[in-house]
């Protein structure tokens, strides 16, 4: 997908499933499916001079501890693309993550460590005050925070 011709693109929203489990018959040295690499390629087609104001990513992570196929994804790369797209202008980033093991449970062993790993990779965003980042994962329910309403664009952050 090439987004370079969408001159008036303001909102980019994406729901994606990242499967962290290796196929049963895959060779031992097989590389996991590079979901974030493919997303980064698409984001890379957004020109630096753009009108993007909102990025919304909803990731469903399918797998079990130790989430190797997910930890190997290019998390730093997606945050670098977000910084490039913002290019010094205000940008709202919604990042929602949910772990699923094929059951209806909301707590999964190792999910806290997975979320912390991803948040560490997002640390570079804190150097860019015009990127207002909103994270959510199921551990936030314990703090009384509901998931973001799907399909809604958040207004500007108040700093």
Q: How confident is the model at residue 143 (pLDDT cuts 50, 70, 90)?
A: low
Q: Is there a domain that residue 158 lies in? A: no
Q: Is there a domain that residue 66 lies in? A: yes
What integer pLDDT is reported at residue 116 of this predicted model? 87
pTM of structure: 0.81
Per-residue pLDDT tens over the stretch 30-46: 555 688 889 999 999 99
Starting at the earlier edge strand, list the strands of the sheet with 54-62. 11-19, 54-62, 91-100, 131-136
Which of 132 and 34 is assigned the larger pLDDT?
132
Mean pLDDT value across residues 22-34: 58
What integer pLDDT is reported at residue 1 of this predicted model? 85
What total of structural domains would you count in the chain?
Answer: 1
Per-residue pLDDT tens over the stretch 91-105: 999 888 888 766 555
Q: Is there a domain that residue 150 lies in? A: no
């Amino acid at each position: 997908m090439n987004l370079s011709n969408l001159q008036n693109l303001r909102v980019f929203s994406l729901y994606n499933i990242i499967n962290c489990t290796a196929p049963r018959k895959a060779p031992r040295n097989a590389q996991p499916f590079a979901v974030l690499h493919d997303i980064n390629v698409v984001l890379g087609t957004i020109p630096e001079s753009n009108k993007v104001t909102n990025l919304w990513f909803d990731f469903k992570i399918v797998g079990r501890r130790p989430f190797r196929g997910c930890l190997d994804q290019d998390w730093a790369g997606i945050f670098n693309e977000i910084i490039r797209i913002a290019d010094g202008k205000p940008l709202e980033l919604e990042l929602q993550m949910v772990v699923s093991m094929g059951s209806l449970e909301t707590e999964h062993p190792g999910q806290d460590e997975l979320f912390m790993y991803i948040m560490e990779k997002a640390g570079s965003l804190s150097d860019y005050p015009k990127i207002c980042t909103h994270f959510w994962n199921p551990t936030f329910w314990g703090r009384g925070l509901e998931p973001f309403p799907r399909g809604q664009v958040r207004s500007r952050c108040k700093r």
